[in-house]
Amino acid sequence: MGITLLQLQFPNSRIFAGRRKCNAPALSMPAHQRGTRLFSPVGQPRVIYAGCSVSENDNTPAVLHPTFAVVDNFLTKTVDSDGDGKGELSHGEVVEAIIKAKCPGAVVKRQGLLPLGEGELSYSDLIANLKGVKKASDWGTQFYGVNISSEATSNFEQASKVLNQKVTSENIADKKAQLREKLNDDQQELMQSIEALEEQGIPVYIAAGNNGQAHFNAMSLTNKAKTVGATDVKGNEEDYSAKNSLVSTWAQGTYSTVAVKDKDGKILGFNLTGGNQVQLPVNGTPPPSQCEEKLKLIDTLGIEIDKDDEHFQNSENLLDYISKKYKDEGCKAISNKRCDILSEINNDILGFDSFKLMLKVQKAILEPNKELTNKAFINKYIDKLEDMETLRYVKFDKEGKPFFDFDGSGRNAFGVIAGTSFAAPAAMVRDFLDQQKTGSKDLAEGLTNGFPPEEVFKIIE
């Protein structure tokens, strides 16, 4: 089981849109009794709470600036935030941006991983970073969560062979102890490093994995850590996310990148979570939105956009619409290797095969008198099909103009980032805030009933 950094982002990697969407389960998370002493002025009792504000002043209750550790790659610029085909941000920087978007006052302690190439990481490096978090905790740093944006990918077929019995998405949690016994020494040490943090009361959040329902993150075999699956902003589970009994909670992992512009229309950066604040910076002048380029594909395919058409009112129906429009026998009547390859690609990405559609897509790729090698052509062909897949996210504004809404927020997207590694930090901050709200209510009730202040401090320390 090799460890790879989760790097699913748009447009370099496609987003899988599920034809079946369901509401994410509302699972409660255990509270962790770790806090910082909060002082209130002598005299009238005041509600004590912990929050995520950027600043503190004498007119508000004491505000906590929680510290979170992020174990990630902060060096390699892998995330293309502006759609120019070049990475402007590291994966760790985006995770940090998501944490601070949801908790502006958060302090993020970076535990940087060194990539080995092809997105791979070493067990020893990951273990060393987790031990670094524990050492900082031993020395007094109080962590309210640790986010690990890495994945030790495995699948149920491999797990079944290892145990010589059927392992499924439903029963894998019951077989966790058996699978743990089969891990090698490095993997065992990794599990122990995660559990050492949990034993100190520091919650650890792990990405469920981006390879769909057939795979799971072997790091989820550890005890007590939270494995997080990805949803859109409305809580609909994403198809790219792993779904199995090891997944303990769900959080938003798909974020539309919405351009923040000045009065002259210049793009200042991108917002992920709402509002007009720059959460992802931009370097130089970004190209035109690639979403606009994808809309041109509709014309190439000969599809008329009608905002009153039910297929465009519900983007999940769009591929069914395209499928019916181009329904045929595909490459079955033609003996051509390239055609067979493209047919397989059609089935893999779109879920159906069509020779007529294939010709349309080729027309969108090939310029007059321009020849491409098989490899170059196939890569461009895949890009176009992925563009087509994203057409399922088309919506219409009040004037009937089409736009992309990838995360279900209803905002006009410039692009999108997506992955369970972006869901994990969102879950971490959400659980922290939920915990603080619950604790604050209990403390407020205690104070109104004449609860001794010294007892309050015992509770929140």
pLDDT tens for the chain, 461 residues long, are 443 333 323 222 333 333 323 333 322 223 232 222 222 223 333 333 445 665 544 343 333 688 999 999 998 888 877 766 678 889 999 999 999 999 988 999 999 887 776 667 788 899 999 999 999 999 989 899 999 988 888 889 889 998 999 999 999 999 999 998 888 888 899 999 999 999 999 999 999 998 888 899 989 999 889 999 999 999 999 988 999 999 999 999 999 999 999 898 888 899 999 989 999 988 777 777 777 778 788 778 877 766 666 666 555 677 778 888 888 877 876 777 888 888 888 888 888 888 888 888 888 888 666 777 888 888 888 888 888 878 888 888 888 788 888 999 999 988 888 999 999 999 999 999 888 777 655 444 444 444 444 444 444 33
Query: Which residues, other chains included, contact 28 with Cβ-Cβ below 8 Å and sequence gap of 6+?
Result: none
Contacts with 63 (C-beta within 8 Å, 6 or more apart), sequence order: 50, 51, 53, 55, 56, 105
φ and ψ at residue 303, rounded to 5 degrees: -105, 130
Element (H or E) spanning 197, and its range? helix 185-199
Can you give the pLDDT at residue 271? Answer: 93
Degrees (nearest 5) of the Cα angle 418, 239, 328?
Answer: 115
**Peptide bond before 45: cis, by omega within 30 degrees of 0?**
no
Residue 67: enclosing H or E segment and its boundaries?
Answer: strand 67-72
Q: pTM of the prediction?
A: 0.78
Which structural domains are found in the chain, ordered by start?
3-254+417-460 (3.40.50.2300), 290-413 (no CATH)
Cα–Cα dist 116/217, whole Å: 20
DSSP state string for 24-63: PP----------------SSS---------S---TTS---
pLDDT score for 309: 64
The confidence score (pLDDT) of residue 401 equals 80
